[in-house]
Amino acid sequence: MIITLNNIKLYAYHGCLEEEALIGGNYIVDVIIHTDFSEAAQTDDLSKTVDYCDVYEIVKKEMAIRSKLIEQVAMRIGNALLSNFKNIDKAEIHLTKIVPPMNGDVGSVTVKISVKK
């Protein structure tokens, strides 16, 4: 069973360039959570599943911590999800940096990580 949060849009200050620390940029995060929510589906009980409002808050908190590499940010998000939710078996994080500062016309760069218990 999977819960997916799509297109979480955040502004953050990640990157190797000093300008990125000052100016920041736009990011999109997708979170794919593997969990058994069958009891929640039967009982309509939020405590038997993963509250996606809490997932959003974790993503937002981790994105607010500056890193040079989005690879590190994605891993932090994944590890924080596993730490905060005992019922997550696996989490996949897709972190996209929109219009990265490069010597070329690149629309976005995405890193994808997967963490398991």
What are the catalytic residues? 97
Sheet holding 2-12, edge to edge: 2-12, 25-35, 88-98, 108-116
Q: Hey, what are 28's tokens?
A: 């999109």
**Which amino acid belongs to residue 56?**
Y
> Mind spelling out the 3-state secondary structure of 5-45?
EEEEEEEECCCCCHHHHHHCEEEEEEEEEEECCHHHHHHCC
Cα–Cα separations (whole angstroms), residue 41 to 38, 44, 112: 5, 6, 29
